[in-house]
Amino acid sequence: MPHTFDFDLLVIGDANPDVVLGPLDAPLSFGQHEQLVDSGLLTLGGSAAIMACGAARLGLKVAFAGRIGDDDAGRFVRTALDERGVDTTALRVDPTLATPLTVVLTRPDGDRAILTSPGTLTATGPQDVPESLLHAARHVHAASYFLLPQLAAALPELFGAACARGATTSLDTNDDPSGGWAPDALPATLAVTDFLLPNAQEALALSAAAAVPSAVSSSALSSSAVSSRITSSRAASSSAAGTAPDSIEAAAAALAAHGTHVIVKNGADGAVAHDGSTVLRTDGIPARPVDTVGAGDSFDAGFVAAHLRGLSTADALALAAACGALSTRAHGGTPAQPTWDEAMAALSRNGKNL
């Protein structure tokens, strides 16, 4: 009898307030010198939280699992997720650590600097993902891999359990503040990740690190289907190892050799998908961005929503690109996230009918 799911999507990872300031058109000045910018905004942040809100906005039934502090920032996060239709039953409160906090400084050219106080991120782990909820979602997405070391180490087992129940999985690693890009568990995680969703810079860094062969362990995973994926990943990554890719397409191909479909976001230039043999591309949707914070997370939400609706990878790429572009219409990651109809209308206006 087929397994039934209570949620379309479970998102696990980071959630925090974002203070977005900018654009700053001069170098950041210390020495207690005050600099003025045109706008400031307190809004919901965290790659996982923004993705969850985007998916809910697109009509998915979404649950969130993670950890916040017992403070005003944590209460802000829970309220913001609740107001956007995300189930926060599994959002746990840490009695001692503070809620993470991020300050985003934007520049006129769209670039930004990000300062984050990790707070509860260092303590977030598999114990914050209820087994019942993991089994209740038909897709599981994780984000901010390098900010959550305990959760990252457990992802092979968590994703493996989801795969064994017939769910699909996705991962957006985001940036690695340490610059290492190669934790021990990453190859095993990629082997049970259906869709890897880095941006172009992240894809190049991840693939360069992955060019060094790594052992992939399947000892924690019991599903024969999952074990088969890991075996294939080990063989493919071994044959592909040794050369750091120098283009987005090459980076996507190198990462796809680990057994995952790779979707590389490239801002206004669109996106590239690689499944290990076939490359697909989509152009970006024209936009006049007010703020690009969270655009990649909104792209992720669009891609997963399209996948769960049964769209082809090519159509999912186009829909995701529209979601990313439309999310830049306002300051902050969530205020301008589109509905499904708004995303489809944007595609239609640009001559793309799915």
pLDDT in tens, 34-90: 999 998 999 999 999 999 999 999 999 999 999 999 999 999 999 999 999 999 999
DSSP string computed for 92-146? EEESSSPPPEEEEEE-TTS-EEEEEE-GGGGT--GGGS-HHHHTSBSEEEEE-GG
Q: How is the beta sheet containing 271-274 ordered, strand by strand? A: 86-94, 62-69, 9-12, 139-143, 168-172, 195-196, 261-265, 271-274, 279-282
Q: What is the pTM (predicted TM-score) of this model?
A: 0.89
- The least confident of 94-98, 134-138, 230-234 is 230-234
Peptide bond into 183 cis (omega under 30): no
Which of 162, 150, 170, 161 is CA-nearest to residue 51? 170
Which of 325, 301, 303, 326 is CA-nearest to residue 314? 303
**Bridge pairing between strands 101-106 and 112-117:** antiparallel
For residue 301, the SS3 value is helix
Tens digit of pLDDT for each residue in 168-187?
A: 999 999 999 999 998 788 89
- The least confident of 11-25, 161-175, 182-196 is 182-196
| 338 neighbors 322 (Cβ within 8 angstroms) | yes
Tens digit of pLDDT for each residue in 300-335?
A: 999 999 999 999 999 999 999 999 999 999 988 999
The CA distance from 212 to 173, in Å, is 18
| 133 neighbors 117 (Cβ within 8 angstroms) | no
